Structure 1
Amino acid sequence: MKAVFLSYNQALTDRVNKILDDEGIRGFTRWALTEGRGSVDGEPHYGTHAWPSMNASLLAIVDDEKVAPLMEAFREMDATTRMQGSRAFVWNIEQSM
């Protein structure tokens, strides 16, 4: 199993939900309001007057075979919304209950 962490502009939540549905990923935890800024470029997402947009972040624990299709769908979304600064990371899960 793998942990997949997604961070994206909250305006993309419906698109991310569709990706999860299309990939058959039901279980996840979402943090609706997260702040951040990209490591290379893009505008900060701080929820302030100067930088009003906000991110959302999501953690899903998925079977290994679901990781590649999920990451590819997320990459495709990111390619069409480049300035939003979406990011995805994958970790191994040692145990679960």
Structure 2
Amino acid sequence: MKCIVIIYNAAIEDRINEALGGMIEKFTLFEKVLGKGKNSQPHMGNSVWPTTNKLIFSVLNNENDIDIIKERLKKVKDEYINEGLKLLVFPVEELI
């Protein structure tokens, strides 16, 4: 079991959803996530930096699905280099 966290510029949400193609059935979506990445402008949701991020949090059992998601999101990241997109994957020891 692994946890995935996908953080992305809200402006590319349609492309993210297209790339995921329904592979993540159970998730938590955080909207209006604020931050600054290495290659992107700040996303602060204010008058100076009006954009925001979104965050998808999910736990998956299938390693193969995680590999497919990684590949698909790498392609999106290559398309949108300056928009901000991160994928974090880490083990889940226990889920209650």
Shared fold by TM > 0.5?
yes
Q: Where does structure 2 lack aligned partners over 5 or more consecutive residues? A: none
Query: What letter corresponds to residue 7 of structure 1 in structure 2?
Result: I
Give the aligned CA root-mean-square deviation in angstroms: 1.3
Residue matched to 2:15: 15
Asked if structure 2 preserves the Cα contact closer than 8 Å seen for 1:20 and 1:26, the reply is: no
Asked if structure 1 preserves the Cα contact closer than 8 Å seen for 2:5 and 2:55, the reply is: yes
1:46 matched to 2:44: yes
Please state whether the residue corresponding to 2:16 is helix, strand or coil. helix
Deviation at 1:33, TM superposition (A): 0.9
Give identity over the alignment, percent: 25
Asked if structure 1 preserves the Cα contact closer than 8 Å seen for 2:20 and 2:72, the reply is: no
State the 4+ residue runs in structure 1 displaced beyond 3 angstroms: none
**Aligned equivalents of 1:62 and 1:2: distance in 2?**
5
**Aligned equivalents of 1:4 and 1:15: distance in 2?**
18
Using the size of structure 1 for normalisation, the TM-score is 0.89
Larger fraction in helix: 1
**Aligned equivalents of 2:39 and 2:15: distance in 1?**
22
**Aligned equivalents of 2:94 and 2:86: distance in 1?**
25
Aligned residues: 95
Per-residue CA deviation, residues 10-53 of structure 1 (Å, 9 max, x unaligned), is 1122222222225x221111101100101x33200001111111
**Aligned equivalents of 1:12 and 1:85: distance in 2?**
9
Per-residue CA deviation, residues 46-87 of structure 1 (Å, 9 max, x unaligned), is 011111110001111112221111011111001101110111
Please state whether the residue corresponding to 1:83 is helix, strand or coil. coil
1:55 aligned residue (53, 66, 74) = 53
Residue matched to 2:70: 71
**Aligned equivalents of 1:73 and 1:41: distance in 2?**
20
